[in-house]
Amino acid sequence: MTKFYLDGNFAPVRDETTAYDLPVEGAIPDALEGRYLRNGPNPTAGDPGHWFFGEGMLHGVELRGGRATWYRNRYVRTESFEAGRRLVGDNGMLDLEVTLANTHVVAHGGRILALVENTAPTEVTPGLDTVGRFDYGGRLTTAMTAHPKLCPVSGELHFFGYGVFPPLLTYHRADAAGNLVQSEEISVPGPTMLHDFAITEHSVVFMDLPVVCDPSLLMAKTMPYRWSDDYGARLGIMPRGGGNADVRWVDVEPCYVFHVLNASEPQPGHLEIDVARYPHLWRESQDAFEPARLHRWTVDVAAGTVKEEALDDRAVEFPRVDERRVGRPARFGYAVETRPGPAGFAMEAVLVKYDLKAGTTEEHRFGPGRVPGEGVFVPASDDAGEDDGYVLAYVYDAATDSSSLVILDAGAFAATPVATVALPQRVPFGFHGSWVPDAVL
Ligand SMILES: [Fe+2]
């Protein structure tokens, strides 16, 4: 039986394509001057062993002057890619030096970085050509998470690296110009999978959750992590720019979180952290999980307490917030809800818009067989209100086996899209992306 990640629109595309002046239905807002880039796994051949193990491919669309000026898709041509090395080598072992660069793409310090959590970033050009490994001039000596957090006020990039061998967890901070200015080893009890973290106005938050490295899986052609009923679960709250001695660990109910929607600290020492929470992950196998639902952790650091509450009963992933609100109180968030499909379709997905203040939601339904990926909010201008802008997503249409870039009006979320850009080939389901305006390059 074909593995799910090689089937339908999970299957890789074979061609690296360039197309200019794409057909547009509707009108692309003049405010959108830049490029929407998204990363995802696209195995070069065969079965890589896990959805997360495909070589990274970027799909980008540049918008300019109300036109969709180009579409490109390009492999991230890391050294290991060029050498033809696969993450699972011919001997069946995981090759931990292989750089897949398949998870996210972000801009910081004038550079565009393709990220995967087990190695250093790979810099790419705005046209998606690979520049090469970027390790902050040799200062970055650990891996880098695919989910760094860019402070919208200071311009600093807060991130971490984790590994299966010591140092297990290291906090890093880069200044607005893209210089690595701080690295601090953080003590954790074991080698867990730390996919994302959070920042607030004052703090960073590590999530040490019970998906733990199992060395016996290093030769099993799958993720070398599994659920532990014994490890426990804790959040580490540390002042921004702090070190190991400053971390306050507070226990939470065991769970797993790939992705944080956002976090804030309305009063110092009192944090609200909104996450897509799995009740467990990879307990029975490396594909086993129950869906994630949006939860809020309310943390009192001094008291060492955490209140946990479900905010919604939908099964959601890929939560995103207005990047100008990262670490600050945000009213609106976006996520992808996945449901079993209607007759004739394997799955249905809708984009959900959360109004976290009012406690309400809106949905954008794309129609039968049309499945969106992560939705990325782009403000209409630098000083536009939180809801004044657009949500961009690639949408796959199963009936025509094709994809488009859909632009929604965030303030009229359920309405007909503002614009739909037809793409010359389908975009496989992938992971994360960013809007990269000219101004940040
Ligand atoms: Fe992720």
Q: How does pLDDT run along the chain (441 residues), one tens digit per residue?
A: 788 899 999 999 999 999 999 999 999 999 999 999 999 999 999 999 899 999 999 999 999 999 999 999 999 999 999 999 999 988 888 888 899 999 999 999 999 999 999 999 999 999 999 999 999 999 999 999 999 999 999 999 999 999 999 999 999 999 999 999 999 999 999 999 999 999 999 999 999 999 999 988 888 888 899 999 999 999 999 999 999 999 999 999 999 999 999 999 999 999 999 999 999 999 988 878 889 999 999 999 999 999 999 999 999 999 999 999 999 999 999 999 987 766 666 677 899 999 999 999 999 999 988 999 999 999 999 999 999 999 999 999 999 999 999 999 999 999 999 999 999 999 999 999 999 999 898
Listed residue (31, 37, 38) closest to 64, CA to CA:
31
Cα separation of 86 and 430, whole Å?
Answer: 19
Alpha carbon of 343 to ligand 1 centroid (Å):
30
How many angstroms does the Cα of residue 27 sit away from the middle of ligand 1?
Answer: 31
Nearest to 364 by CA among 411, 400, 401: 411
The answer for residues whose C-beta is within 8 angstroms of residue 384's C-beta and 6 or more apart is: none
Q: So what's the pLDDT on residue 2?
A: 85
Cα(366) to centroid of ligand 1, in Å? 23
Q: How far is the CA of 160 from the centre of ligand 1 (A)?
A: 14
3-state secondary structure at position 398: coil
Using CA of residue 226, residue 229, residue 235, residue 236, what is the dihedral sign?
A: negative
How many angstroms separate the CA atoms of 293 and 340, rounded?
Answer: 16
**Ligand 1 centre and the CA of 72: distance in Å?**
22
In terms of pTM, does the model score above 0.85? yes
**Distance (Å) of CA 371 to CA 163, 208, 259, 362:** 34, 32, 20, 17
Cα 9 to Cα 116, 314, 370, 372, 402: the distances in Å are: 21, 23, 11, 11, 9
Omega of the bond prior to 148 within 30 degrees of 0, cis? Answer: no
pLDDT at 332: 98
Structure tokens at 111: 């550079």
Q: 21 C-alpha to center of ligand 1: Å? A: 31
- pLDDT for 47 equals 92
User: In a 10 Å sphere around its CB, with 0-12 CB exposed, 13-18 middle and 19+ buried, how is residue 300 labelled?
Assistant: middle
pLDDT of amino acid 286: 80
